[in-house]
Amino acid sequence: MKQTKYIMSGGLAFAEEKDMKKLRRFSLKGWHVTGFKFLGYTLEKGESSDYIYSVDYRSLEVGEEDEYFDVFASAGWSHVTSEGDIHLFRAESGTKAIYSDSETLVEKYKSLSNSMGYIAISLVVLTALAWLGTMMSSGVLHSLLTVIGIVLTVVAFPATLTAIASYNNKWKVEEKKGLVALLKIIPAALVIMAVLVLVLGDYDSARLLAYMIIGGTVFPAVIWLIMSLFHKVRNEA
């Protein structure tokens, strides 16, 4: 019977390099990643090996997979698993990195940041329209728009943070230090705005939105911490 375990991810948009180093450390202990799982990875017990890992972001059309994976295989990188447009590869220690210069690194992050940017902007616009509608409506329509606004906020806020992190990775490689610094203050600015709305806002909908923003910041971190502790205790048991 195969031995498997689960480990948490720091989020590829937020901690890609740390995740890849973590997977290498587990491979040295004989635990090798076999697939993505909710907020993490599935590992399988095997022989200790010094594997290095790398992730690529690319949308593949039907029939492109074999050619795409063959390009990496010819460079010494074997395909491990994929989830949507995210593809994980591994190689023996010492193998040349998939992306070895800033130009190719920019191309890597450009695909992810563009797709996440489109998704985040669309969700933010829809969310803003829903909450604006709650301030201008009453009765059943108000209740319906409130529910829609809550659902959209729950989805839009983490999507926006992921998009911000994706652009942060891209602009770091491009050495756009001003934009990187600007992105770092956006999450804190959103929370400060939410607190001000709670203190000064008159509309119940505005207050509810503020609660959602604060909750959207704190709740994912709490969930990540709880799951991390749970799986750590479970794996040590």
Q: What phi and psi, each to the nearest 5 degrees, are found at residue 75?
A: -95, 5
How many domains in the chain? Answer: 2
Mean pLDDT of the chain: 79
Residues 137 and 190 in one domain: yes
Given a cut of 80, whether residue 136 has pLDDT beyond it is yes
Question: Which one is predicted more confidently, 143 or 109?
Answer: 143
Amino acid identity of residue 198, one-letter, is L
| Domain containing residue 157 | 102-225
pLDDT score of 237 more than 50:
no
User: Does 59 map to a domain?
Assistant: yes
Long-range contacts from 23-29, C-beta under 8 angstroms, 24+ separation: 23/51, 23/53, 23/90, 24/50, 24/51, 24/52, 24/53, 27/51, 27/53, 27/90
Same domain for 143 and 48:
no
- Structure confidence by residue, pLDDT tens digits, 177-205: 777 677 677 666 766 766 666 566 555 65
pLDDT of residue 190: 67
**Is 204 part of a structural domain of the chain?**
yes
Q: Is the pLDDT of residue 98 over 50?
A: yes
User: 217: how many CB neighbours lie within 10 A of its CB?
Assistant: 17
Q: Is the pLDDT of residue 117 over 80?
A: yes
CA–CA separation, 145 and 134 (whole Å): 6
d(CA 199, CA 192): 11
Residue 86's Cβ-count burial label (10 Å; 0-12, 13-18, 19+) is: middle
Q: Does one domain contain both 75 and 172?
A: no
Residues 141 and 76 in one domain: no
Among 55-69, 151-165, 200-214, the range of highest mean pLDDT: 55-69
- φ, ψ for residue 92, nearest 5 deg: -70, 150
Residues 123 and 37 occupy one common structural domain: no
The pLDDT value recorded for residue 207 is 57
User: CA–CA separation, 226 vs 16, rounded Å?
Assistant: 21
Cα–Cα distances in Å, from 97 out to 44, 56, 69, 109? 24, 12, 15, 15
Is 109 buried (19+), middle (13-18) or exposed (0-12) by CB count in 10 A?
buried
Considering the domain architecture, whether residues 27 and 115 belong to the same structural domain is answered as: no
Q: What is the mean pLDDT of residues 106-120?
A: 80
pLDDT of residue 76: 92
pLDDT digits (tens, 9 = 90+) for 216-226: 555 555 555 65
The H or E element that residue 132 is part of is helix 102-135
